[in-house]
Amino acid sequence: MPELPEVETTCLGLAPFITNKVITEFRVWQPALRWPIPDHLASCIEGDRIRGLRRRGKYLLFDLKGSSGLLIHLGMSGSLRILTEAQPKSKHVHWQLNFGNLLLRYRDPRRFGALLYSTQLDQHPLLGNLGPEPLADDFDGDYLYQYSRRRKRAVKNVIMDGGVVVGIGNIYAAEALFLAGIHPARAAGAIGLNRYQALATTIKAVIHAALQRGGTTLKDYVDSNNQPGYFGLQLKVYGRNGQPCNSCLTPLKTIRLNQRASTYCPRCQR
DNA sequence: ACTTTAGCCTGTCGGC
DNA sequence: TGCCGACAGGCTAAAG
C-alpha cells in the first residue's frame, strides 16, 4: 500500500519517461474511483505537455499548461506503470495516458485512488489543509509539542492526521512510535517536549530509511517500472502482534485506534 | 472548535 | 471444498 516513500519512488520513476512529453490520448475504462474521474477530461488535457511531476504528501501532481494539472492519488492499491508498447489491458486498469507510443497505465484493484484535474492545481481543495512534509525543517519536535497542548487525542492519531503532518500511514506510525518508546494510545497533550523531539526524529528516520530503499512494499504494490517491490525494511512492530519484541522479548500487543490496528510493545512503549 | 465515525472498494485469509 | 466474515487502508463528509 503506497505510503509517502512509495509515492516519491513512483514520482522519481516516472519523471524521466514523461517529463516534457505531450499527451496524445487519454482513455478511461472505469471512472468510479474514490471520486469520479472528471467528465470530458480528455478534451481538457489532450495536446498538453507534462511540464513536471511533483509529490505533496501522498498526492502525485502533474503540471500541465499554465497553472493547470492532474492530481493523482494511489489509494491503497494503486500503481502507475510505464509501457513502451500497447499490451493487453490487465484487470483493474482504469485509465491510461498515451504519449505517442509510450503508455502510462493506472491499475487499482480497490479503487481507493483518484484522478482529478484543476486549472489551478495548487489551489485544489484537497491540498489546502495539509500539514508539513515530515522530512521538512518545519516539522520537528517543537511543532508536534505545540500542536499537542491541551489535546487529548491519542498520539498515534495525531501523527497520522494529514492536517498535522502528511504521509504517515499506519505502518510508519507504528514503527516510529516503537522507536521513540511512546505508547500509541498516550494522550498527545500528556507528552513532553523531549519525547516529541525523539518522535520527530524517529519519524524522519523511518521515512528516510524507506525512501532509501525505494519504499516498503506490501503485496500489491508494483513500482513504476514494474520491478518487484522492495521488501527491505525490517518492521519491528507492524503486523507482528503476539510475536516477541525485538528489544525485550515481551509479546507485542495490538489495540485499535481510529479503527486501525496499532501494534506496540507494552514494556518498551509507555 | 475539536475529534471520532462511517463509508468508499475488493482481494485475501482464517475458520467452520 | 466452499462459503462467510473480518480485515486491510487514506481520506472526507457527517456526526458527535
* Tens digit of each residue's pLDDT (9 = 90 or more) over A35-60: 889 999 999 999 999 999 999 999 99
A253 is catalytic: no
Q: Which nucleotides of B are covered by protein (CB under 7 A)?
A: 2-12
Set A25, A260, A266, A267: catalytic member: A260
Q: Which residues contact A178 (CB under 8 A, 6 or more apart)?
A: A236, A237, A264, A265, A268, A269
Residue A73, CB, strand C, below 7 Å: yes
Per-residue pLDDT tens over the stretch A95-121: 999 999 999 999 998 888 999 999 999
Q: d(Cα A213, Cα A120) in Å, to the nearest integer?
A: 34
Nearest residue for B2, CA–C1': A151
Other beta carbons within 10 Å of A68:
17
What are the backbone angles phi and psi of residue A9, rounded to the nearest 5°? -60, -40
Query: If you average pLDDT over residues A139-163, what whole number do you get?
Result: 93
A175 is catalytic: no
A251 is catalytic: no
What is the grid cell recorded at A190?
Answer: 500528556
pLDDT of residue A265 exceeding 90: yes
Which range, of A87-96, A130-139, A152-161, A199-208, averages the lowest pLDDT?
Answer: A87-96
Query: Whole-structure pTM over 0.85, yes or no?
Result: yes
